[in-house]
């Protein structure tokens, strides 16, 4: 029996286009989630969830994340494609599901978390985006700490380290290698001769042809994320926490701000 079906504030993600890898889960539209995900107040069924999440990611999330949280000064909200950190939609799917466990009575099999490695790829991509002055100038002085908090919150569920049950983000967001509509993101990942250039998703996204005339910013932003101590609960959203992991790498050559 699916307990979540008994709660009128819970909506099944079966057949969701935005969160297809989370098909066994349900999400809550109750008050406890609205602080972190305000778009849920406009959600009444699975179709409206997909539509509202897509709209949220394109504008309000970008403003909240890059302007309000990261402090980017010159944000262009008319076209946010290149602000899209890898797997952003998937990270939000995961955060909403994890925060719906209690209100929707989800079992562990219904609330499989995103894999920690995928959370790291998301945070590393945030570091890359925010190191581009044309996308994000003069970010907050504690930018790196904020990005680490995003990783920590995303990878908080204990199951995020269990590769047998956790959800790899690429299963949810395979198109464009998980970079949404960001050509810069795709091409930075699939760059000719790079470590990832032979990744199947690069071939499937026709990256070689699409990227041949793309000029990439000369950035060297790198951050290393480690997740070694599983906990049994998840709180907040990918953007809502203030935790900081004990990663052994605290430098980001192009991040635009100190980690302290």
- Between CA 232 and CA 17 the distance in angstroms is 28
Is 69 part of a structural domain of the chain? yes
pLDDT for the residue 216: 80
What burial class does residue 91 get, using C-beta atoms within 10 Å of its C-beta: 0-12 exposed, 13-18 middle, 19+ buried? buried
pLDDT for the residue 236: 41
Is 252 part of a structural domain of the chain? no
Supply the DSSP symbol for 183: H
Is 237 part of a structural domain of the chain? no
Is 107 part of a structural domain of the chain? yes
Of residues 234, 227, 241, the one with CA closest to residue 96: 234
**Chunked mean pLDDT (size 10), the chain, 260 residues:** 58 98 97 95 97 97 96 91 97 98 96 97 95 92 96 94 96 96 92 77 91 77 59 41 37 34
Is 148 part of a structural domain of the chain? yes
Give the count of domains, the chain: 1
Residue 134 near residue 75, CB atoms below 8 Å:
no
Is 258 part of a structural domain of the chain? no
Is 95 part of a structural domain of the chain? yes
pTM of the predicted model, to two decimals?
Answer: 0.83
Domain of residue 183 covers 10-211
* Residue 119, H or E segment: helix 116-130
Is 230 part of a structural domain of the chain? no
- Between CA 147 and CA 130 the distance in angstroms is 10
28 three-state secondary structure:
strand
pLDDT for the residue 219: 61
Backbone φ, ψ for residue 157 (5° rounding): -55, 135
Of residues 97, 169, 147, the one with CA closest to residue 255: 147
- Between CA 91 and CA 114 the distance in angstroms is 7
């Amino acid at each position: 029996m699916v307990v979540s079906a008994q709660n009128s504030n819970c909506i099944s993600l079966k057949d969701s286009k935005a969160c297809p890898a989370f098909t066994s889960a349900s999400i809550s539209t109750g008050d406890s989630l609205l602080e972190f995900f305000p778009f849920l107040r406009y959600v009444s069924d699975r179709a409206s969830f997909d539509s509202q999440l897509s709209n949220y990611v394109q504008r309000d999330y970008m403003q909240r994340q890059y302007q309000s949280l990261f402090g980017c000064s010159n944000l262009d909200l008319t076209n946010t494609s290149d602000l899209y950190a890898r797997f952003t939609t998937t990270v939000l799917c995961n955060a909403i599901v994890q925060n719906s466990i209690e209100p929707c009575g989800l079992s562990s099999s219904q609330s499989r978390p995103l894999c920690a490695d995928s959370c790291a790829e998301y945070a590393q991509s945030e570091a890359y985006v925010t190191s581009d002055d044309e996308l994000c100038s003069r970010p907050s002085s504690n930018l790196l700490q904020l990005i680490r908090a995003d990783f920590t919150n995303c990878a908080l569920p204990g199951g995020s380290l269990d590769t047998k049950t956790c959800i790899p983000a690429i299963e949810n967001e395979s198109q464009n290698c998980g970079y949404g509509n960001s050509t810069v993101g795709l091409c930075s990942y699939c760059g000719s001769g790079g470590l990832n250039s032979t990744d199947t998703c690069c071939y499937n996204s026709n990256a070689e042809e699409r990227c041949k005339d793309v000029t990439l910013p000369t950035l060297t932003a790198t951050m290393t994320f480690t997740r070694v101590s599983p906990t049994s609960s998840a709180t907040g959203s990918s953007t809502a926490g203030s935790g900081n992991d004990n990663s052994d790498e605290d430098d980001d050559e192009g991040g635009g701000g100190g980690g302290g």
